[in-house]
Structure 1
């Protein structure tokens, strides 16, 4: 499973809950799911019996903690996948520019769903936002890394998740990933999906992230409206 596949499957209704239920059974259960009937490791067996969406949802559920999975599932339901998330964020910012009477940079304004950087951007943003409340400690990191290994993730995904988990939380570093205002909107929207605005620490993180991304209040408001309710 690669990064794009994980995000496309995970950003769908109910999959976060399904995956988290499987992950809560423990690493031994996950290990069994990653083996075929002959006892040999098989990522295809994992995805066939478990479902790629539930695996992806399980990873994101583990990142966020069980208390958030229901809320995240509702937020993600209206998105549909990594490309849809990116396209939506781009549209919100481009609409804002038009209302301001600004002429957008044509190259920046166009969303390229075939650009793999979008998936990396979204996943890094989600992992960072998930750490904002401090629930991802060393023990939790080990569980998540084991889950990634058991799901048959490819090397790029395994390495990315591990690196992002162990980094100190720094909204300015995440903001620096954006190469355009549209990508800044994409980062903020991805972060909104996993962050709980009712949690003081996560709310503070989102506020600082928006500041570092240099997003106008109207843009952040419109992005928040996309996943509200």
Structure 2
């Protein structure tokens, strides 16, 4: 699979969407879901194969231009299409997605401040915590990318409102990012798999991975929605995150915007 490529593309989309969102008239109103889906309907008129071909060729007339889709293409669909509303009046936390590894690490560092002997055991602590996703490579980066994509998809499904049509649109967009056949099948499986916080948590390969999985879940949920709040609480417990750590990760996500 090429999960690391897909995650990097999504992080870039999140970074670009955050920048464009800060300068557009869309501030505070979340994602224009109708605009995303209407744009896809128009631009996918040639069928999925031509759309994918067009996107790989840079967006010819027979394909679609990823940059033209409000909300960041796959990012907008993955999070926005299921709602039909803004995220409780809040914009999607693009900054938290774009900087997930750094922010999760920052949350851990904040938790260590003021602890006795923290400086003396710093090197050992760092080694046991695991690397940030941005610092990984090869099979380790691929594994972490799968963990984060799985966490993102499950969080996006937490309110139960992704229907078959929206699943198909999300799959189209993931394919447009360059997903290979194995990755395509994996995404479809995740869109239909039972929501299981314990099973998801077992995929975490380090404490840092657990923090990243929780933070990226926070980034794609509306914590004011009871179902999504319940999912975050289940996930924090399954990942063995303390209430203080979960709260710090949520604070980092909110500050990143």
Report what 2:245 is aligned to. 219
In the alignment, the residues of structure 2 paired with residue 40 and residue 65 of structure 1 have an alpha-carbon distance, to the nearest angstrom, of: 25
Q: What is the CA distance between 1:20 and its match in structure 2?
A: 6.8
| 1:158-190 deviations in Å (ceiling 9; x for gaps) | 233212101011111111111222211111100
2:41 is aligned with 1:23: no
1:184-217: per-residue Cα shift (whole Å, max 9, x none)? Answer: 1111100001111111111111101100011011
Q: Secondary structure at the match of 1:113?
A: helix
Q: Is the 8 A contact 1:9 1:57 kept in 2?
A: no
8 A Cα contact 2:158 2:231, kept in partner: yes
Is 1:71 the equivalent of 2:87?
no
The answer for the alignment partner of 1:197 in structure 2 is 223
Other-structure match for 1:11: 14
User: Residues of 1 paired with 2:173 and 2:52: CA distance?
Assistant: 17
1:55-94 to structure 2, matched below 5 A, reads: 55-62=73-80, 64-68=82-86, 71-73=90-92, 75-76=93-94, 78-79=95-96, 81=98, 84-94=99-109
Indicate how the Cα distance of structure 1 residues 72 and 177 shifts in structure 2: closer, same or farther if over 3 A, else same. farther
Query: What do residues 17-71 of structure 1 show as CA deviations (whole Å, max 9, x unaligned)?
Result: 47872333444522449788xx993322339833398333333245543424673
Distance 2:104 2:52 in 1: 42
Q: Distance in 2 between matches of 1:44 and 1:59?
A: 21
DSSP 3-state at the match of 1:67: coil
Per-residue CA shift, 1:77-132, capped at 9, x if unaligned?
x3362xx2112102212432454446415153442524323322221111000111
Instruction: State the number of aligned residues.
Output: 222
Which of 125, 129, 134 is matched with 1:113 structurally?
A: 134
Q: Provide structure 1 residue ranges, at least 5 long, that are not aligned to the other structure.
A: none
TM-score (norm 2): 0.71
Matched-pair contact (CA < 8 Å) for 2:33–2:81: no
CA distance 1:79–1:72, change in 2 (3 Å): same
In the alignment, the residues of structure 2 paired with residue 172 and residue 59 of structure 1 have an alpha-carbon distance, to the nearest angstrom, of 26
CA distance in structure 2 between the partners assigned to 1:48 and 1:29 by the alignment: 5
The structure where helix makes up a greater share of residues is 1
Give the Cα separation in 2 of the matches to 1:34 and 1:139: 14
